[in-house]
Amino acid sequence: MARAKAEPPDGTTLNVRRVWLDWADVSCATHHEVVVRQGALDGRRVGGRWNLKESLYRTRALRRNRSYFWRVRACNASGCGDWSPWA
């Protein structure tokens, strides 16, 4: 299964607290998994969702002046693909 490409890219500075995360559709995917972490790749999990039917996710309100990292993977009846690189 192809790896999903994550947007916005790494290092992006945003001026909103609820962020839309978007990624490229994977043709064989039936759902997606997304995870959002604060401060570091192994930081506190502050968002995410499993069994997401769309290739789009809106975070809850995030704290200002913090760094966040997120990644996504596509899944189907055969299992899930690799996680995207952290963005």
Domain span holding position 60: 6-80
Note whether residue 17 is domain-resident. Answer: yes
DSSP class of residue 10? Answer: T
Q: Output the pTM of the full model.
A: 0.81
**pLDDT tens-place string over residues 15-71:** 778 888 988 888 899 999 999 999 889 999 999 999 999 999 999 998 888 888 999
- For 73, phi and psi rounded to 5 degrees? -145, 150
Note whether residue 47 is domain-resident. Answer: yes
pLDDT on residue 11: 63
pLDDT on residue 87: 84
pLDDT on residue 16: 76
pLDDT on residue 24: 87
What is the rounded CA–CA span in Å between residue 27 and residue 68? Answer: 28
Q: Pick the closest to residue 3 from 23, 31, 30 (CA basis).
A: 23
Note whether residue 85 is domain-resident. Answer: no
pLDDT higher than threshold 50 for residue 2: no
Count of structural domains within the chain? 1
Note whether residue 49 is domain-resident. Answer: yes
pLDDT higher than threshold 70 for residue 4: no
